[in-house]
Amino acid sequence: MPHDLVGSAAPMQRKKLEDALRPEWGDLRVFLLCARNRSFSRAADVLGVPATAMMRKIDKLEDDLGCQLFSRDEAQLALTGEGRALLFDVEQMERLSLNIVRRARAPAEVSGTVRIAVTEAPGNFWVLPRLITFERTYRNIIVELRCVSDCAEVPRQEADISLQVERPSDPELIATKIGRLHIHAFASKAYCDAYGLPTSLDELRHHRIVKQDGVPHGDGTYKRILGVDSLEGIVGISTNSSVAALYAVEQGAGIGFLPSSVIALGAPLVAVDLGVNHQLDLWLCYHRQFRHSDRHTLMIEWLKSIFDPKVYACFRDEFIHPDELTPLMVGSREHFGLQNYVAPKPFPTEATTT
């Protein structure tokens, strides 16, 4: 064989090998669904195919990649180390592909202002980080984001769209449930090391609490669930701000009730299991007049996508323990986690001046 033909054969063979090992997007999407649903059958229900078809797809993908992506048992699927690494990459691919689709579907010259009111925790910790990506895609839309404790702005014409935890009664508003917030107790490791952790509500009475107004609702709820007449000596800090509550809990001020996803998103906290959890349905609300507005339609569909329970396990109706959420939200933590929100290390003891 001539020398030049021999030299060109190796690159051609390598290319054929690379093409053979390159997984199809459809196979990766199957992997993504299985990872998010932790079950072949639940993932199969999403696509409307038999569970055996999903299993065959995953078997083929594992063979192609030469590694095991899931450890299987009778209860559920669990990602291996290789599976978690792949999940990170595939979620990046999904996010970029969705940006391409949204940009292609966007009406030409769509522009204007959209006013959104959202309760503070989802607004600060979930919507805002993703809004930066939205802004890069839709350069001519101005988004006014109001992070508030009470989302009554839409009926008062102070916002076009709201994300709120109470279903509105105004018949002029369109309301759609887009997810469920689960509230769980958390403490810092420093607090845990210093005081230990309660295992019941009865024991919680002997600890310090950082109380956020509305989670659960009001002083009366705390008194009732703790079986006390007064919160004096129990509640050290009470605030209407979710940011302040997270900061105080991270600093070791006490045990606080926060969204179940805080550990999965990177907050250095410990879940406190008290045998009780609180849940709040999240409603997307907007005026009927905005149904035919291009920019509002774009924003409404985008908001639905970033709270989709099929994609983000923390918004499912069923409660998932905070520790179990961590492997299900690798991509969210890496790209939109709490790293830039997390409080600094505990303040050093103030030196005595002489």
Mean pLDDT of the chain: 82
CA geometry: angle at 136 spanning 25 and 264, to 5°? 65
If one compares 257 and 226, the residue with the highest pLDDT of the two is: 257
Containing 115, the helix (H) or strand (E) segment is strand 112-119
Paired tokens of 164: 């709120």
Rounded mean pLDDT of 77-86?
87
Which of the four pLDDT bands, split at 50, 70 and 90, describes residue 340? low
Q: What does the pLDDT read at residue 345?
A: 58
What does the buried/exposed string (b/e) look like for 226-265 if buried means 16 or more CB atoms within 10 Å of the residue's CB?
Answer: beeeebeebbebbbebbeebbbbbbbbbbbbbbbbbbbbb
Do 277 and 314 form a contact (C-beta atoms < 8 A)? Answer: no
In this predicted model, what pLDDT tens digit does every residue of 273-285 receive, in sequence order? 998 888 999 999 9
pTM score of the predicted model: 0.70
Counting residues of the chain whose pLDDT is more than 90, the rounded percentage is 36
Q: What does the pLDDT read at residue 37?
A: 82
Q: Using CA atoms, how far apart are residues 231 and 189, in angstroms rounded to an integer?
A: 24
In this predicted model, what pLDDT tens digit does every residue of 150-169 receive, in sequence order? 655 454 567 899 998 888 88
In this predicted model, what pLDDT tens digit does every residue of 168-205 receive, in sequence order? 888 888 999 999 999 999 999 999 999 999 999 889 99
pLDDT at 20 over 50: no
Q: Using CA atoms, how far apart are residues 114 and 8, in angstroms rounded to an integer?
A: 57
Paired tokens of 214: 């509305």
Q: Using CA atoms, how far apart are residues 349 and 194, in angstroms rounded to an integer?
A: 16
Neighbours of 192 (CB within 10 A): 15
